[in-house]
Amino acid sequence: MDIESAVEWLDLDILAEVVRRVLDDGSAEVASWHRERIDYANVGPGSRALYRVSGTAYLHGELVPWSTVLKVFRAPEGDPTADLSDERYYRREVLAYSSALLASLHGGLTAPRHFGVSEWPGAVLGLWLEDLAGVGTIGRSLERYGLAAHHLGAFGGAYLAGKSVPTLPWLSRRALATWVADHGPLVDLIRRPEAWQLPLVRRAFPRPVADDVLRLWSERATFFDALEHLPRTLCHHDASPTNLFARRDADGREQTVAIDWELVGHGAVGEDIGNLVPVSVIDLHVPAESARELEGVVLDRYLAALAEGGWQGDPRQVRLAYAATAALRWLFAAVGWPLAIALDESGRHVADSERRWERPIEDILDQWAALAHFLLERAETARSLVDS
């Protein structure tokens, strides 16, 4: 069964139970419902899809609205993600919500409410979650990025100050290495001398940076090994502006609500912010000229949260994990994406990029090129910290 067929086959009894959990009242009765597809970047409809399912229900004689998000996963037979040993294991997020893991987060970081799991033939799983449509993401404010970093630091820091890192078998163990390995095709483009002669590329990179980028690729195993020897904690592994929402709890305290826990698992302290800073720039939430200011705010607030939680380790360990993760996760994309776009003679990649980021391709590539130079500096920082 494919995802769309599974969603069309929604059982009213299952939906009724979900709606009762959404409304927190066992007497609610579904009166009407409909679904709509939510855009979900960088995934194929055969593997994952996102829907908003909403409607009305009778509750103590009144008609009230309800809404929930249904996230659907599928791993066909033979797909490596169906194997628990695969870092992209398709059931991981479902298991994270179904266990107590996400119900006991610390320090202002929280997850959406979970209303249950549905399962259909053909290895199709549906995860029913709180609808955050009325809650804004952390946006573009550097101050709010800093608060999110503080919450991430408190979350990760709890496992450095007495709380045991979970050993659940489905948690990811090599998230960063797997992410980097997937960039092999981009590295192949970076090795092609003719790609650096294309007008779009020469405009973005007047001085080719291929040798510097390939140096990092050749050193990746050294950095992975260094990260393995840093203090270990639990990481979200996909902290980004689109996955972090800002709201207040019932007592008025600010929270950061994190979605997309598909990669949750073990990592070095500092890895989460090593993704947050560069992904915010590559996705054009923050201008490249503000990258250093963003980095300063995020690092300061993350380190402050670790100290407040009782960690007394060497801040250089966090800076190493941050710098190495930032460079390894996003340098190959910041350089490889411009080459892939310029090499596409059909023009489709240019059109798709301009549509997604709503600006001319020249501006997009300028942002990515500036990020690439920023990340090359972070690679050099990581080298010096490893050597020290």
How far is it, in rounded angstroms, from Cα 383 to Cα 377? 10
| Whether residue 151 is found in the same domain as residue 295 | yes
pLDDT of residue 41: 66
Residue 114, SS3 per DSSP = strand
Return the closest-CA partner of residue 279 out of 207, 374, 386. 374
Residue range(s) defining the domain that contains residue 366: 142-387
Smallest Cα–Cα separation from 68: which of 33, 111, 108? Answer: 33
DSSP character for 166? P
One domain, residues 152 and 204? yes
Please report, for the domain that includes residue 202, its CATH number.
Answer: 3.90.1200.10
Phi-psi sector, 358: left (phi>0), alpha (psi -120 to 50), beta: left
How high is the pLDDT of residue 282? Answer: 98
Neighbours of 50 (CB within 10 A): 17
Maximum distance among all Cα pairs of the chain, rounded to whole angstroms: 71
Q: Are residues 263 and 187 in the same domain?
A: yes
Residue where the block lists tokens 């501006």: 363
* Angle at 45 (CA atoms; ends 39, 46), nearest 5 degrees: 160
Regarding whether 214 and 78 lie in a shared domain, the answer is no
**What is the predicted pLDDT for the residue at 40?**
74
Terminal-to-terminal C-alpha distance of the chain: 54
Residue after which a domain boundary falls, among 72, 105, 130: 130
Residue 15, domain member (yes or no): yes
- Whether residue 136 lies inside any domain: the answer is no
The reply to whether 135 falls in a domain is no
The predicted structure's pLDDT at residue 376: 98
Instruction: Single out the residue of 174, 183, 274 nearest to residue 228, CA to CA.
Output: 174
Question: Which residue spans within the chain are E strands per DSSP?
Answer: 29-38, 48-59, 62-74, 109-110, 114-120, 124-130, 232-235, 244-248, 254-258, 265-268
Beta bridge partners of 136: none
- How many folded domains does the chain comprise? 2
Residues 166 and 106 in one domain: no
Point out the domain boundary residue: 80, 102, 130: 130
Instruction: Report whether 357 contacts 364 (CB < 8 A).
Output: yes
Give the integer Cα–Cα distance in Å for 19 and 13: 10
Give the CB-side neighbour count of residue 343, counting CA atoms within 13 A. Answer: 15
Task: Please provide the average confidence, as pLDDT, over all residues in the chain.
Answer: 94
Residues in contact with 93: Cβ distance below 8 Å, sequence separation at least 6, in sequence order: 71, 73, 127, 260, 261, 262, 264
> Can you name the residues that pair with 234 across neighbouring β-strands?
266
Looking at the structure, do residues 155 and 46 belong to the same domain, yes or no?
A: no
332 falls within a domain: yes
Alpha helices by DSSP H, listed for 30-183, are 92-98, 142-157, 175-181
Q: Are residues 316 and 277 in the same domain?
A: yes
Residues 83 and 222 in one domain: no
37 found inside a domain: yes
Q: Are 258 and 359 found together in one domain?
A: yes
Do 357 and 311 share a structural domain? yes
Would you say residue 149 lies in a domain? yes
Report yes or no on 137 lying in a domain: no
Judge if 360 and 279 occupy the same domain.
yes
Q: Which residues of the chain have pLDDT under 50?
A: none
- In a domain? residue 31: yes
Instruction: Please indicate, yes or no, whether residues 194 and 274 belong to a single structural domain of this protein.
Output: yes
Q: Of the candidates 110, 130, 150, which is a domain's last residue?
A: 130
